[in-house]
Structure 1
Amino acid sequence: MRPPSGTIPVVPRSSGLFRTAPPGESSFSGVSLGLARPDVLHWLTGLHGLSSPTVFGADTVTRNGTTDPLVGHVLDDRYEILQRLARGGMATVYRAQDLRLGRIVAVKVMHDDLDEAQGTDFARKFDREARAAAALTDSHVVGVFDQGIDDGRPYIVMEFIEGCTLRNLITREAPFDPERALSLIEPIAAALAAAHESGLVHRDVKPENVLIGNKGQIKVADFGLARAASAKTITVAKGNVIGTVSYLPPEIVAQTHADARSDIYSTGIVLYELLTGEKPYTGENLQVAYAHVNKSVPAPSQTLRRNGHAPVPDYVDALVLACTRRDPDRRPADGHELLTKVRRARAAVASGVTNDESLSAVMYPAGWREGRNWSSGDARSGATRIDTEPIRLSARIRGRDRLTASAVPGSSRTRAGATAAPAATRVRADQEPARPPSNGWHPVGAPSRPSAPVSPVDYSDHLSQTGPHQLPRHQRSPMPRSQRTPLFPEIVNDPVHRRRRGIVATLLVLILATVIGVSSWWVTSGRFIETPDMVGMSQDAAISAAQQAGLTVSFEQAFSDDVEAGVVISTDPTAGTKIERKSQIDAVVSAGPQTYAMPNVAGLTQEAATQALIDAHLAVGAVTQEYSDTVAAGDVISASAEAGTQVVHDTAIDLVVSMGPSPIKVKDYTGKSADEAKSALERAGFTVTTEEQPSSEVEVGHVISQDPASGQLQAGSEVHLVVSSGAEEVAVPDVRARTADDARSILEAAGFEVEEKYVDEDASVRLNRVQKTDPVRNTKLAKGSTVTIYII
């Protein structure tokens, strides 16, 4: 939501384009820069009066429901307008393509209505701004590339920065330790040093204008308000003071005057916020501006102790207090002096120095010891604690919140013409008088000594030199007595005139009462409206609700496991919060659950597939095993989600893992033909080996034995067959001339059966010797064969 301007008229100058990050460390889920999967944040700067930042990116979408006629147009035949990024009170910023150099740039185009309403004033200012910013070339400053006029529209071409703002960093991580806070403030001081050396003043230093690139570089943006440092006043556009009230120096609040020391004050407020995580003053704009003028910024350590944090070194406190002194004369003179002190403080912090009186005195000269009582204000300048009515702003500040001269303490006159001290003002008696600053500026609200009458119109350039809180003495040349207005003019005592004056007075009182009543209503409640409840609505319904309430709405997408896609999750501000009319509401719309692409895990080992799922933000579900003839054992056959499909984060994916080919039952072929057994086993997927052995029991060519003979084997396993080569053959031994008994013994030992026959059955005398054998000697016969011996 664009911050309301409050009661101090201020031209808002937040500018840019940023992109949040996805879920993870901080999660842009969303702006995660502390993002586990950080996206790039794009931030565009250099626009006066921009509305709140417009969000783009892979995870964010901005929608304002409007179209822009310049989108698609080419400026000066070179810069093609691609997209409108943001619109402010003075100009609109676009994302554009430089057709000549082929790069993305930011183009700021001035509003036509401003040029028409102000003649050539805004065009001249636009041209001055471009020339001043382009002349400033420094590594810590966002660059200006080009400027021109297209179809009567002045424009500026600027650098397009990738990164985030210091505001994003403060929101996520502040408070910072002193060393890191000083490391962040040092590039800002370096940028201001370069600007001040060139005679330029930034005038709006704040975290939103400090960019941190995605490679760590730090740049100060939006030197668009910078003008020659010798200029005496800030330009007031559309009746608003240019600047951001939280970081606005008191001299600008009081008289719209700024120089290099004003940038030092704003930088000191930024350093205070880095160290403490909060701004020194909060509240309505008028209250904050009043505090800047009438109060001294507390030491960071004081705030840190109050919040339960450890204090910072005293010289860091001293540096902040020196930068934020209300008297500009007592601040560092310019960016160079600030840079020197920041570097010295940073070196001391890096060296482990906790407290150093001498270094503190360098940071906060001539008054360090007195200034140690931070709560009492600026010891050097003798600033007092103020408890007065609201301050009177410069008459040059126009707007609904301006105050009349009667609201200024000390502005009423006595009958003799002297200025009376306000009764509500209290001054601490123990504070010493302070010397008047050289530039003539003092905070408003302290007691003053009698002086000449105060001008009720514009005294911003004539502030008092007499005291730290005294109203300025109205300076004018003496006027001849004849030309002076009588202090007590002649009063007509006629009754008719008295009645007429009474009627006129009554009417004036009624008109004044009406104006006061309407103004009070508008200031307190009339300009505010309750934020409508958009949670649970679709985008179209939310836009309609915002329009009916006189508001605008921008949308940013965020993943949600609980809310349906396209439905509003939350709004900032929340429903029922009072906001100014025509303000912007930032709504977060559900993009549904975050999904990730399913990786291809088929063919991976189970371990590799598990890691692939974890890397894809998914989980492993049930794991089952199956036989596969094509997938090696231990590898994944399939998963429960198809590769490439989008799967909701943390979904459990089931896996099927291969156990290799299916086992095959082994059939026993013992006693079967060897050829038949081998063919059958090979057809079943086995590898068959054979060997032959003689066997008198198994037929030749048949299987004597098989290994294994039963069970199950994987395809390709080996089965061994032992095949019969028939009975074993033995040569018939020579037993001729041996006795019958010896021959029988020899033949039986050789494995033969023996049959005896006599050569002559009728012979009376026998020698009992073997004459011959049948088969004859050396004939090979199978064991068990019968050999016949012939005996004589």
Structure 2
Amino acid sequence: MSQMLARRYELIEKIGEGGMAVVYKARCTYLDRWVAIKVLRDQYANNPEFVDRFQREARAAARLAHPNIVSIYDVGEDQGQHFIVMEYVQGENLKNYLSSRGTLSPQAVADVGRQVAAALAHAHCRGIIHRDIKPHNLLITPEGQVKVTDFGIARAAAASSLTETGVVLGSVHYFSPEQARGGAVDARSDIYALGVVLYELLTGELPFTGDSPIAVALRHLDSEPRPITELCSHVPEGLDQTIMKAMAKNPVDRYQTAGELSLDLGKIAGRTTAQDEPTRILTATPMPGKKTAVSGQHRPSRRAVVWTTATLLLLAVLAGTFFLFRYYFLVPVVDVPPLIGLPAEEAKRLLDEKGLVYEVLREEYDEEAAGIVLDQYPEPGALRKSGVGEKVKVVLSKGRELAEVPDVRGQTQAIAESMLSQENLKIAGVREEFDPVTPVGLVLGQEPAPRTQVPAGAGVTLVLSLGPPPQPVVIPDWAGEDVNLVQDEINELGLKLDSIKEEPSNIYSVGKVIRTDPPAETTVTEGDNISLIVSQGPSVDAKSVTFPLSFVVPEGPTRQLVEVWVISEDNKQRVFNERLEPGKKVTLSLVASPQSKVRVDLDGQVWKEYSVSDGSST
């Protein structure tokens, strides 16, 4: 499948693939050596946010130089294909190794763990957390050397908005509890994941399994793993305790550094790393059958020993002075180049050409893009000796300080303000909207959206819920209804009673509703105000009033004779006379003096009688 990448790397064959990238064995035509090239899949390569972070993290990981870490040689892009070039490692990953050969012996597990922990200690000291330690990312050579790969890729994936199901399924078994709950991750998270890997290499089983990634993550939070001794009876007690300490739920209870873990595992494996080897004082032991050359032989005088020692020391000083003179004084002197405003890579290249050593003094947040030199020591133009290790220290920009917007939806305004303050953000404004689901007073939306990266100190606009939107209400016709009953109905309709006014009425009796404001049949909204105009009864000086009469003919003979009479002190007048069927409704508006009475007769018999002063027949 020979194919050239960046006109330098000849792709030979595909040797692996994962959720984020495809890995190829390739040959670097410039240096004539084998390399491994990881090419990002399209869904990642087409995401600028992910690619930018991926490149920065890969460059940071490229600074790692350790025998147990896969070296990163290059990061690049060719016709939309983003890739990283790494050391090619002969061997296979530990997941495949475990599948094909079965569990490892306790000593082999301790040795693997020692090497991985040493690699993590090297990275952690340089501020790099792996975040995705699992057997798939640990390569083992035929000689038993273990190398950690994919530094920086997991961090770039975690920081992007992309989610790859395969990646989650492959990693959740090794998540630390703080990763499972979405909390802050530090070096101790890598230590927990390494503990899970060692548990699996020793027992052949994962400590936590489940039907879904969420189920597995929850078990990391609230379940204890099956004791190792139940699955591997011959495990040394020290190794059991070391693995379980690394897998402690609380980060405080774990090893606090990977270096501590490496040291303990090295002791269990029967060897320690070179830097941890204790200094020993060795004494010579005479060989059997031989005599020591002390007794029976001539001993040199004390003065001879002193002169001989002094002579040797003088010769050593003279030789050292000679070589120091050649090394330090007989070298060219160069000007320190101006580096301010240059990218770090360019600054390092210029210093390399001058024979000077590039060193980062510190990094600061600044308006300049990340990786730009902000200051340098010594200043440009200073004279320094080339090729003798003289350093030029630089201050690099970390770019603008960013903050991640927290998700404050569902919180009160006070809690949301506290959460924003913890992330160095503030409330820019508040507006209110109706929402049928979110309770009144809680945050239903925010701008910018959660997990957006914004400059530190920026403002976030909150949208608070006013509860469900008000519904339209049609005002009923309450004319003639009792005012107390009408007030209850107003409350039930979600309206507010604004006022009750009284006025005389020749039609409605005292305490009856004459009309409403707004009028009946008007459409209003829940929460609106409404006023009632209530009858005081007829005017005192009224000579005649209008009396509304309404009734339904009761059950009885068909075609009953219905008569309506208006009766005063000196007069009796029939105002209605018809034969009607039962159930027929009669509605009349009668004019009479307030002292009059209205009587209804059925077939000549008195059925009902009303006082006109009552205002109506209802």
- TM-score between both structures, scaled by the size of structure 2: 0.43
The higher radius of gyration belongs to 1
- TM-score between both structures, scaled by the size of structure 1: 0.34
Of the two structures, which has the highest relative contact order with CA contacts closer than 8 Å and spacing of 6 or more? 1
